[in-house]
Amino acid sequence: MTTNADQGRIRVMIVDDHPLLRNSLRQALDTPELELVAEAASAEEALEVALGVRPNVLLVDVELPGVDGLSLVRELAPRLPDTRIVMLTASREDRHLFDAMRFGAVGYLTKDLSAQGLARAVRAAWEGELAMSRKNAAHLVRRLFETSRRVVDPTVAESALGVLTPREGEVLRLLAEGLTDHEIAQALTLSPRTVEMHVSNILHKLDVRNRSEAARCYRASGVGSAPRSPG
């Protein structure tokens, strides 16, 4: 029988491929306010489980085997709008911080955080706060400010799109419309892996850092639609 106290607990899911770390996280989350509702060891497993349990807070390892944590966030965030996603990393470097936030995460924590610190961060994320260190928060604000000041020249953008293949152009058009890799794969009858390859090629050819900048480049070009593939 579910009590009112149970209904008020924050439902948490863990995605990490290391059993020992999952056990440590499980212990850290063993508090009256938090309830561990599911675990997954890979992005593929997490995609299936998370959509079923729809946790309040999802803790995701950045460095997952196969499909990484950032790709998982990019897939899940649009489908779980009420779930707060918090990234976990073993490194103190913040090289993935900006992309994680752009894809829909609300937190970025190191795995050496204390049990009490993790519990506080989970509560903070659920309450709408950024779950990260002050240093990372300051860095994120600076990056957002720098990005907002960057202006894409329409002529340069249109010229850059000319280096893409017709299929890459189609992928970029759908990417700019906000579709996930999985949705792009369905729309173009491709495998998700093939779409990931096309996106990687697009970022390299346009000399941009992430999907958001690629989408801005596409929109700045004024191109109504990308070239259609003959096949």
E-strand spans in the chain? 10-15, 34-40, 57-61, 84-89, 107-110, 131-132
Tokens 């897939």 -> residue: 75
Among 146, 161, 187, residue at a domain's last position: 146
Q: Which domain holds residue 64?
A: 4-146
Name the more confident of 143 and 114.
114
Distances (CA, A) of 202 to 95, 168, 179: 20, 7, 15
**Residue that has been written with the tokens 């992309």 in this structure:** 99
**Boundary of a domain, candidates 96, 130, 146:** 146
pLDDT per position as a tens digit, 152-203: 445 545 566 778 888 998 999 999 888 988 999 999 999 988 998 999 888 8
Output DSSP code: residue 130: -
Across the chain, mean pLDDT equals 83
CATH at 39: 3.40.50.2300
Q: Are residues 165 and 93 in the same domain?
A: no
Q: What 3-state DSSP class applies to 212? A: helix
Strand 34-40 versus strand 10-15 pairing type: parallel
Which tens digit of pLDDT belongs to each residue from 95-134?
788 888 888 899 999 888 899 999 999 999 999 998 887 7
Structural domains of the chain, count: 2
The answer to whether residues 82 and 184 belong to one domain is no
